[in-house]
Amino acid sequence: MLSSFFTPLVTIILPIFGLIFAGYACRKLNRLGPHASSELNRFVVYLALPALLFDIMANTPWSMLDEPSFIAVFGIGSFVVFAATVLVRLKQSRHLADASLDGLNAAYPNTGYIGLPLCLLAFGKASLAPAVIATIMTVCVLFAVAIVVIELGLQSERHIGATMRRVARSLMLNPLLIAPLAGALWSGAGLHVSGGAQAFLKLLGGAASPCALVALGLFLGEKPHARDARRASALVAAKLVAQPLLTWWLAFHVFTLPPMWAKTAVLLSALPTGTGPFMLAEFYRREAAVTSTAILFSTLVSLVTVTLCLAAMLA
């Protein structure tokens, strides 16, 4: 049973390591300079990822999101792990912005790049609907919550009114929040994106994940991060063990989802950390070393943990 899923999983994950290594090699060989990671990440944050988020939301009918039980299971599983990690990091005297990034590392599954093809492989086309809902919740909702917390942590005013005004102004100018909101309004208005506009969004949005992974490799190529590997291990454990166990309990024992929806929720929650946290870490100039290490390690370890999860779900 394990071997029947290990090879397809490796096939899905291998391109991720390939893109990371491409960036790593370009930096080590000095084919791209020391600022390449930041500049490529800025392209992702300001152009590619907003296009992808708008495209996802504009092409998702609101009726497709009418799955409250699944949303509750996946959402509670994600947000509890996120909030618990933030609280633990704050007790360890971490800055609120860094604690938010740690929370994202522990609760942000790679639903788009790995989850969609893996669900299709394991459960067939019927699993694409919950996979898309989970992707929206991850890359739009959880991502937005993390951005709000980061912005709150970065404001220095002691007066609550001034702080909230600065936070609101920053959020209104943030393309990672504006794009999915605009896409949701577009879809809600019954409008459609077609022709050249749709091709533009697909081309630009399609560059988001590959460029983010290459930027991650470029960053890893700058210097070793042995100390950060130790700090990232707890985040990897939360992502690959705590989140799927909590989601399993919610899906099978609290909300009792239909079997396919429950199994899809657990599988998606067991995925390694996606590139979203690294984009924010680089964008806000926070501690990207911990984030990059968590992404790399969680992806590597997930070859074992996700295979075991698949075997359990299909037993």
pLDDT of residue 160: 66
pLDDT of residue 5: 63
* Fold for the domain defined by 2-313: Na+/H+ antiporter like fold (1.20.1530)
Six-digit token pair at 42?
């800025």
pLDDT of residue 152: 87
Question: Residue ranges of the chain with pLDDT lower than 70?
Answer: 1-6, 156-160, 162-163, 223-228
Q: How far apart (Å, rounded) are the C-alpha atoms in residues 115 and 19?
A: 18
pLDDT of residue 173: 79
3-state secondary structure of 103: helix
Q: Tokens 């980061």 identify what position? A: 150
pLDDT of residue 47: 94
Q: How far apart (Å, rounded) are the C-alpha atoms in residues 78 and 118?
A: 19
Q: How far apart (Å, rounded) are the C-alpha atoms in residues 123 and 263?
A: 9
With a CB cutoff of 8 Å and minimum separation 6, the contacts of 66 are: none
pLDDT of residue 104: 96
List phi, psi (to 5°) of 109.
Answer: -75, 150
Closest CA relative to residue 205, chosen from 55, 9, 309, 18: 55
pLDDT of residue 200: 96
Q: How far apart (Å, rounded) are the C-alpha atoms in residues 292 and 283?
A: 13
3-state secondary structure of 163: helix
What would the pLDDT profile of 99-113 be if each residue is shown by its tens digit? 999 999 999 999 877
What would the pLDDT profile of 11-42 be if each residue is shown by its tens digit? 888 888 899 999 999 999 999 998 999 999 99
| Predicted TM-score of the model (pTM) | 0.87
pLDDT of residue 79: 97
Six-digit token pair at 132?
């898309």
How many CA atoms within 13 Å lie on the side-chain side of 151?
21
3-state secondary structure of 46: helix
